[in-house]
A and B are shown apart, each in its own frame.
Chain A
Amino acid sequence: MSASATPSQRDASPPSRRSWGALALALPALVLLVVVIGYPLATIVLRSFAEPQWGLQNYGWFFSTPINLIVLQRTFAISAWVTVVCVICAYPFAYAMTAVGPKLGLLLTLCVLIPFWVSGVVRTLSWVILLQDSGVINSMLRSVGLDGVRLIRTQTGVVIGMAQVLLPFMVLPLYSVMKGIDLRLVQAARSLGAGPIRAFFTVYLPLSLPGIYAGAIIVFILALGFYITPALLGGPRSTMLSTLVQNQVLSLLQWGRGGAMGVVLLVATFVLLALAGPLMRQKHKQGTR
């Protein structure tokens, strides 16, 4: 407590001048944000109400057209599946990252980071090569005398591809939370008579929940807005909302309808974030206590 009382040098200037200076530093970023994000989003929201005429007709159209609702539902379903797959696969992997020695740890870290940094288009391209009818999986199946299966342009294919692209976003937050878990707590539980499985479910899992929450939210939100993978791997039966938006705007020039869809996607994203924010913070507090 005593050492922390040393104020820093900027303490010398009066607070009002200090915060104006600080705001000035952030100003270029804010201007860019308003011009390149704020203004375009506002334009889209406006158009969704104003084109072709003022009113709610675009939203009326969206919610009364069955195909839109099917796609909306499918978008959520695919995102949920992707999230579940990511949690299941990332959990043991992230745990192993905390448990192994430095050499193996570096290898595992590379496994996560390389795909993380390799362009998403390239990674989707490799899934196209793997999953296509003349792709790796089907040629292997055929070579052992089995019938080929349809993977490309199916929901399964889309989920597999998306989950692989999004997995690092699940592993990294999980890893950072798990790294901070005090393993002595697990030992304490064991010494109190809990079996290994019980100790895991009553101590370790609850402590790692903040990581699961954080990762799941990120993955789910990114999945909702995914465009490249469904566009390349998907077909008519696995279209997601993003593709529909693109179609309305670029092919049909229906800015109003495309805008309304975009707004639906945007609202869904922010509602999720708003719901998840307090949840994550609360869980985090419990985790550190």
Chain B
Amino acid sequence: MAMHPLTRVLLGLACILVGLWLVAPTLVVVPMSFNENKSLAFPPQGFSWQWYQNFVTNPEWSTSFLNSLKVATVVAVLATVIGTLAAFGLDRMRARSAGLLRMLLLTPMVVPGVVLAIGIYAVYLDARLVGTMTGFVLAHTILALPFVLIAVQASLEVFDKRLETAAASLGAGRIATFRTVTLPLIAPGILSGLLFAFVTSFDEVIVSLFITSPYMKTLPVQIFTSITRDADPTVAAVGTILLCATTILIGGGLLLLGRDRRSSL
């Protein structure tokens, strides 16, 4: 496809600028995390690992990190199971009722976070769920559910249901068909739903800010309060760690996906 050279240059330039704008600002946390001074002022001074050390040793940080990990793991499993079941349910319904239910189940994505947060806070105050593991898990699960639903529905849509008929003709009952044919073929969708659910919970901050207590904090809450309270470069260290983890995960995933697409289909 031929493009005017000038257009090409302009487009390239626009791309580089937007790409930089997307990625570069976030990278600023990396130099800040090695700051010698307890300050977030730019440029950072000297070099030290102390903020990483602080992250590991300071219980405020390490506990909130572990809490986030625990909550996100439980949420990922719970949301994936419930969301996958729902996706199968919708798949088996008539188009109209499925469309309606789907819209309902996707509402957590569009309801403004604060409105949801005060609502859940009000209910949790009555139910004594503020600052509890159960409270976090319930709230995060419903927030993660839409992502699982979307991912699994997408893979069910491309799944050739006639293969289930074929399996039945070869002697497979419903459960055997599900286990040997359906599940392996929609596994990528379920897996990406699981990942989405984990990240959604791990990053969730608005609702968490309301239902948190001094005894039960998640990492994003800790980061948020740290930013508003003082200029502790530990947040930069945490940010750097999260950034690296994400890049490795996504980059690896994309590479795997690319290789997968070549070998099958």
Contacts and interface: CB of A to CB of B under 8 A. Distances in A.
Interface string A76-102: 000000000000011011011001001
B88 interface: yes
A225 B113 contact: yes
Contacts of B236: 125, 129
A26 B152 CA distance: 13
A173 interface: no
Contacts of B23: 111, 114-115
Given A39-B123, A129-B40, A196-B7, A109 B254 contact: yes
A138 B145 CA distance: 42
Contact of B25 (A27, A92, A126, A258): A126
A69 interface: no
Interface in B142-163: 142, 145, 149, 161-162
Contacts, number: 273
Given A32-B138, A122-B239, A128 B123 contact: no
Interface size class of B (residues with CB under 8 A): 35 or more
B235 interface: yes
B114 A227 contact: yes
A22 B142 contact: no
B40 A8 contact: no
A259 interface: yes
B258 interface: yes
B205 interface: yes
A70 interface: no
Contact of A36 (B1, B114, B139): B139
Interface size class of A (residues with CB under 8 A): 35 or more
B228 A92 contact: no
A196 B4 contact: yes
Nearest to A28: B82
Contact of B29 (A32, A117, A129): A129
A280 interface: no
B203 A121 contact: yes
Chain A interface mostly helix, strand, loop or mixed?
helix
Contacts of A9: 164-165, 168, 177
Nearest to A102: B258
Q: Which of A26, A111, A135, A196 has the most CB of B within 10 A?
A: A26
A43 B142 contact: no
A93 B250 CA distance: 20
Contact of B82 (A6, A29, A263): A29
A18 B97 CA distance: 13
Interface of B: 1, 3-4, 7, 11-12, 14-15, 18-19, 21-23, 25-29, 32, 40-43, 82-83, 85-86, 88-94, 97, 101, 104-105, 107-108, 110-123, 138-139, 141-142, 145, 149, 161-162, 164-165, 168, 177, 199, 202-203, 205-206, 210, 220, 223-224, 227-228, 235-236, 238-239, 242-243, 246-247, 249-251, 254, 258
19 contacts: A8-B165, A23-B89, A25-B89, A36-B141, A40-B116, A92-B14, A96-B15, A108-B19, A118-B242, A129-B32, A130-B28, A130-B42, A134-B42, A136-B42, A139-B43, A167-B22, A232-B227, A245-B114, A266-B112
